Amino acid sequence: MGLLNPRHLFYLASLAVLIAIYLRARAKPTLEVSSLMLFDEIAAPVASSRVLRTDLLFWLEMAALSALSMALAGLYVRRAAPAVHYQTRALVFDLGAAMGAREGRGTRLDQARRQALAIISAAAPGDSFSVIGYALEATVYRAPTSHLAAVRRAVNELKPEALPARAAALRAALMRARGAAEIEVFADRAPARGWLSAAGAGARVRLHQVGAPAANLAIVALEPGTVGATPGRMVVRNFSDRPQLCELALDLDARSVLRTTIVLEPRGQEVLPFGPLKRGGVVHARIVTPDALDADNNRWALAPNDKPDRVLVISPSPEARDDLARVALAVNQSLIVTAVDPVKFDLASAPRYRLAVLDDAYDPGIKAAARLIIYPPPWLEHSTPPPSWQLPVVGTVRMAEMQARADGEQLSQPLVLSPARILALPQWIDVLAYGTGVGSGGSFPLAGFGYDARGAMGVIAFSVNDHMLLDPDKLEALVLTVEMVKRLLAPQDLRIVPTGSSVSVPATGVAKIVAPDGSASAARADEMGRVRVRPLEAGRYEISSAGATAVIYANYYDAGESDLSAAPPAPAPSAPATPAAALAVAAAAARVKPIAPWLIAFALGAMLLEAALLTRTAMRWRARDV
């Protein structure tokens, strides 16, 4: 037993008051004298006085006050919880690419699925299950339900994704499984230490590790080179501890370019040159030799055609015009670049450009398939309202620092750039880099990319004056600019992206999306005439709508998921997650039950008994005791 709030024991001081009353009232003896002798003087009999005279009424009052004081203090008893006939359980599946590796007649996910179905079949009547999967993020595929047929259906519908399984996604999955008495985790790799803490105290977590070591080959990189000028290269890696025979094929728009067989040394990597290619197109490299994992056996790249597309560079700074023209020619040597001062630009006689680069200059309505806005000036001196494509400038910082690269990773140390604009970017622009002002707080976008009704649009908020792009100490700024130009020059209806990224392609009305496995889905285009697709499988996606067809090629490679040679440890016996969790489970098995109602009932009973005794005494005309 125990007390929920020991401070309420202060109410026990009422017992001292009760004793004081009895000390005062009954410290001297009471003599019984006949009523016929009221006016006679008689000697008092000898009687000894006591400090405290107790009787049955005193003990009844003492018991009532004690019971009420303990009830207010929260006296409770601890007893074992009654056995329940059902419980909530969670099935958590690793859906990373490695779970799609072949294992016997199926895959690792098939092996995990069989174990999960056996657990469901052995469940007690009334048990409820939830089904959760994780790769880049956690997803609940079935909320807790006792309808076991629906749980089995959700388990059978799980598919591995061409994505790496992140530790943060596992923690998120365990947090979503909180509240379950038992959590079953199915994965091919043992997570890092401390991963069970996200399950919360009181939950029993069991890891079911599936999969045996397997040899695997993967295409690490594919560079098409420059059409008619420089050769391309393909990088292949062996994740086995033994030499592996590898047959490779390379196609350009479904036409064979290269087919060769090599021997890769244990844990080795080989670089295979090819070309130069004679024309542009989609380059497809694949591993023909069967291995354990198919997701990393294919890779696509785009070799741009040597079309003499026109590129316009507008900037008031001659140095910035020259640097930006060099960047465009470095991406594609066949471009026809026109660099001009904004004061001398004649919009009326200008042709349509493939790309327009505007540095510290207003867009007068240039006809271009894509635009790159660099350090846009604020719309202050104009009295007319700005055009719809003009980006709102919120403010300017004298010096900016880049905190995160275009891939979202934090830089080892901030990169000091140049003056930058603080822009209010619309929702259709995806931020590619963040930064802050030197000596000031608050983060703002430094680069973004998106599509509006006019076409592709890239934004760079910092200035490129004073040959900043050629500064070797600011290489990240040059890489960001080159990647932005490559994105803008790429065809809008043909995209080659890594799996898991969000891709926007042109569409009209309702678009049909066909995945690499042949499954089809539908999506409606937004007000910009775009449809967003997030490829979760490696391969070719086709998005077709009224009058428009776009193709997406999704590449996958991850060194951690492609390495299938790690042997799983021996299965551990079922146990609570951690010692702390074991204590929490033991504490949860015991139930705390307050007994205040019983104490109050006892106090009321004592008071009623005392009242009955007093009434009985009064009825016998012993009024002095009333």
CATH code for position 478: 3.40.50
Strand partners, 226: 230
Question: What is the total count of domains within the chain?
Answer: 5
AA identity, residue 2 = G
SS (H, E, C) 68-116: HHHHHHCEEEEEECCCCCCCEEEEEEECCHHHHCEECCEEHHHHHHHHH
Domain shared by 123 and 71, yes or no: no
Q: Which of 304, 335, 363 is the last residue of a domain?
A: 304
Burial of residue 290 (number of CB atoms within 10 Å: 0-12, 13-18, 19+): exposed
What integer best gives the mean pLDDT of the chain?
Answer: 82
Structure tokens at 528: 């910009």
What's the predicted TM-score (pTM) here? 0.68
Q: Is residue 261 part of a domain?
A: yes
551 domain residue, yes or no: yes
**97 within 8 A of 293, measured Cβ to Cβ:** yes
Q: Cα separation of 195 and 536, whole Å?
A: 25
**Given this model, what pLDDT does residue 587 score?**
39
- In this structure, the answer to whether residues 221 and 209 fall within a common structural domain is no
Positions of E strands within 381-478: 393-397, 400-404, 410-416, 420-423, 429-437, 443-452, 455-460
Backbone CA torsion sign across 105, 111, 115, 120: negative
Domain stop point among 167, 186, 213: 213
Which residue pairs from 470-474 have beta carbons closer than 8 angstroms and sit at least 24 positions apart in sequence?
470/323, 474/415, 474/416, 474/417
Cα 363–Cα 373–Cα 340 angle in degrees, nearest 5: 60
Q: What is the β-pairing status of strands 355-359 and 400-404?
A: unpaired
Does residue 17 sit in the same domain as residue 153? no
If asked whether residues 413 and 454 sit together in one domain, one would say yes
DSSP state at residue 511: E
* Pair of tokens at residue 420: 């930058």
The answer to whether residue 436 sits within a structural domain is yes
| Residues 297 and 426 occupy one common structural domain | no
| Residue-range definition of the domain harbouring residue 616 | 2-81+595-625
Looking at the structure, do residues 346 and 456 belong to the same domain, yes or no? yes
Is 35 in the same domain as 164?
no
For residues 399 and 522, state if they share a domain: no
pLDDT at 522 (0 to 100): 92
Look up the CATH number of the domain holding residue 114: 3.40.50.410
Q: Is 445 contained in some domain?
A: yes
Tokens of 607: 């008071």
Statement to judge: residues 156 and 93 lie in one domain: yes
Task: Map residue 354 onto helix, strand or coil.
Answer: coil
Residue 386: what pLDDT? 77
Domain check: are 341 and 477 in the same one?
yes
In a domain, residue 564? The reply is no
The reply to whether 69 falls in a domain is: yes
Judge if the upstream peptide bond of residue 276 is cis by omega within 30 degrees of 0.
yes
| Number of neighbours of residue 100 by Cβ within 10 angstroms | 23
β-pairing verdict for 336-340 and 355-359 = unpaired
Tens digit of each residue's pLDDT (9 = 90 or more) over 428-443:
888 888 888 876 767 8
Map residue 9 onto helix, strand or coil. helix
Among the candidates 533, 555, 577, a domain finishes at: 555
pLDDT at residue 84 greater than cutoff 70: no
Question: pLDDT, tens digit, for every residue of 300-348?
Answer: 999 887 678 899 999 999 999 999 999 998 888 888 999 999 999 988 8
CA pair distance 569, 567, nearest whole angstrom? 6
Say which residue, 70 or 503, is predicted with more confidence: 503
What SS3 class is residue 261?
strand
146 vs 30, higher pLDDT: 146
Other C-beta atoms lying within 10 Å of the C-beta of residue 123: 16
Mean pLDDT in residue range 21-42: 60
Q: Does the pLDDT of residue 588 top 50, yes or no?
A: no
475 and 335 in a common domain: yes
Is residue 139 situated within a structural domain? yes
Residues 339 and 437 in one domain: yes
Assign 625 a pLDDT band (cuts: 50, 70, 90): very low
Phi and psi angles of residue 123, each rounded to the nearest 5 degrees, phi first: -70, 150
* Rg of the chain in Å (alpha carbons): 40
